[in-house]
Structure 1
Amino acid sequence: MRSTLKMPKVGDAANEVVIMELLVKVGDAVAEGQNLFVVETDKAQLEVPAPFAGTVRDILIKVGEEVPTGAPTLVLEA
């Protein structure tokens, strides 16, 4: 089953974050809780973990891109 992961709300006031680093690539197998990418808010840098184990099928974000809460980030296949 493929699921498109959405940008979670990462802070109380942050509705948009900047992608600082991608920690996976297409084809990578990831474990539940493994960090997928690093984002930056106006106050901190945070790592975003995988909600379930699977294989990365598509990456929909780029380093340096501003991404709003709820926007698609990547496709993970369980």
Structure 2
Amino acid sequence: MGLGGCIILIAVGAILTFATDWDMQGVNVNLVGLIFMIVGLIGVATFTSIYRRRRVVVPPATPVVDGQAPHHHHRDGYSDGYGV
């Protein structure tokens, strides 16, 4: 169940709990609405914790351009023109 489904459960539960005055024999509509809201909140908490874990960014490895190994420049003091 995604985040949208959890939010719908919370909304339906709130409607059943606070906006209705139905009396059904053998069913407590207020309790059903409360259960929907609790399940929706648990779903939102679970979804956000899983989503936060997936967002871990791993830095990429050193890129290799055109399939060649990276070039290392050896600076001995004489090859750059200043160490005559």
* TM tier relative to shorter chain: under 0.3
* Bigger strand fraction: 1
Query: Structure 2-normalised TM-score?
Result: 0.19
* Bigger helix fraction: 2
Query: Structure 1-normalised TM-score?
Result: 0.20
Higher relative contact order (CA 8 A, sep 6+): 1
